[in-house]
Amino acid sequence: MNNTIEEVREFFEQCKAFWIRQGNSELIASCKAFWWDIVEVSNTFNIWTPGKEQFAMEFCGYEPHDPEPAAEDVESGNCPHN
């Protein structure tokens, strides 16, 4: 369950690679992997771990349950990212 920051980074990279394979640019893939695969899922199911929280803070200063960008912004890459 992505307990360490290293596990979260690895999960993020796997998700980003998936979005790139779907035809997204690296920027958009990064946004989708972070905002949809990590943040949205963790907020929806309340499954934040210390590693996820640390990763989110380092990625763009995000804290659990803060507002998320609109889907259109994630899909266009116009969202907070590292």
Q: Decide: 26 and 48 in contact? Cβ < 8 Å.
A: no
Give the contacts of 60 (CB within 8 A, at least 6 positions apart): 34, 80, 81, 82
Establish if 33 belongs to a structural domain: yes
Q: Cα–Cα distance between 14 and 66 in angstroms, integer?
A: 24
9 part of a folded domain:
yes
pLDDT one-digit tens code per residue, 26-78: 999 999 999 999 999 999 999 999 999 999 999 999 999 999 999 999 999 99
Is 82 domain-assigned? no
Number of structural domains found in the chain = 1
* 55 found inside a domain: yes
Task: Return the amino acid letter for 48.
Answer: W
In a domain, 19, yes or no: yes
Q: How confident is the model at residue 2 (pLDDT cuts 50, 70, 90)?
A: low
- 14 pLDDT above the threshold of 70: yes
Whole-model pTM: value is 0.94
Q: Can you give the residue range of the structural domain that contains 18? A: 5-76
